């Protein structure tokens, strides 16, 4: 395209789920497909940004002109994010697992008749978005988080923006029946320092473009005619 308002800007995007191993064949995971994050990475690149996409396990092809770093666990994702700094823009779209299994083992756990099932012992994962937002001099100029909510979407997202210390939160309603997680469409509420925008139902690709145009404006791009 002729309009490359993000030329010279560096961006990182996290996307997809994380997998937290239980043993070599089992893991804790979630239903994130990575579609929304991959679309955002692609849209940032289309507008000229230099993009690093840090992705948990997905079945998606990386958009062209994006450097892809594949990770499995939240802790690997955090390391990859921190070593990709400095960037101007960070968009945390990954559905990072909240916990990892501290008693994960390196041999497959056998099921044995007559013995009780194994117990998993969980510990919290690092909050990548919160750490990025508090990264001091290495903090990206713009940090965007996501919020997947099922109730009180707006109030929860406003609270989450404060708690995480990020600049913007894009909140999705993922309640049953919305088919957002794993689906092709999304409807979002964008919370910024200036207030709340309600966006209509659109494809994840359109939502990515709309978000990235807004990012470009924030970095001083002229409004599209």
Catalytic annotation, residues: 30
- 153 binds ligand C5P per the rule CB under 6 A: no
Q: Is 87 in the site for ligand C5P (CB under 6 A)?
A: no
Residue nearest to ligand C5P (CB): 128
| CB 181 to ligand C5P: min, Å | 13
129 is in an annotated binding site: yes
Q: Under the criterion CB under 6 A, does residue 128 sit at the interface with ligand C5P? A: yes
Tell me: does residue 94 bind ligand C5P (CB under 6 A). Answer: yes
DSSP labels, the chain: ----TTTT-EEEEEESB--EEEETTEEE-----SHHHHHHHHHHHHTT-EEEEEE-S-SPPPPTTEEEEE--SHHHHHHHHHHT---SEEEE--B--SEEETT--SSPPPP-TTSPPPPP-EEEPP-HHHHHHT-GGG--SEEEEEEEESSSHHHHHHHHHHHHT-SEEEEEE--TTS--TTSSEE-EEEEETTEEEEPPSEEHHHHHHHHHHHHHHHTTPPPP-
Residue 1 or 136: the one with the smaller Cβ distance to ligand C5P is: 136
Does position 145 interact with ligand C5P (CB under 6 A)? The reply is yes
Work out whether 54 is an interface residue with ligand C5P (CB under 6 A).
Answer: no
Q: Which stretch binds ligand C5P (CB under 6 A): 63-71, 90-98, 114-122, 201-209?
A: 90-98
Binding site for ligand C5P (CB under 6 A): 14, 74, 92-94, 96, 125-129, 145-147
């Amino acid at each position: 395209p002729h309009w490359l308002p993000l030329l010279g800007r560096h961006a990182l995007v996290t996307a997809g789920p994380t997998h937290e191993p239980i043993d070599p064949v089992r893991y804790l995971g979630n239903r994130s497909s990575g579609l929304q994050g991959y679309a955002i990475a692609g849209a940032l690149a289309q507008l000229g940004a230099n993009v690093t996409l840090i992705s948990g396990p997905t079945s998606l092809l990386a958009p062209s002109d994006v450097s892809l770093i594949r990770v499995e666990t939240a802790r690997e994702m955090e390391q990859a994010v921190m070593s990709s700094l400095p960037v101007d823009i960070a968009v945390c779209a990954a559905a990072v697992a909240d916990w990892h299994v501290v008693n994960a083992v390196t041999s497959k756990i056998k099921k044995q008749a007559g013995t009780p099932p194994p117990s998993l012992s969980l510990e919290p994962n690092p909050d990548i978005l919160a750490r990025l937002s508090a990264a001091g001099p290495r903090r990206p100029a713009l940090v965007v988080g996501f919020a997947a909510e099922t109730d009180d979407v707006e109030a929860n997202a406003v609270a989450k923006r404060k708690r995480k210390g990020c600049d913007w939160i894009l909140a999705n309603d993922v309640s049953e029946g919305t088919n957002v997680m794993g689906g092709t469409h999304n409807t979002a509420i964008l919370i910024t320092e200036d207030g709340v925008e309600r966006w209509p139902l659109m494809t994840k690709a359109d939502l990515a473009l709309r978000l990235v145009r807004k990012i470009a404006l924030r970095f001083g791009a002229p409004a599209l005619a």
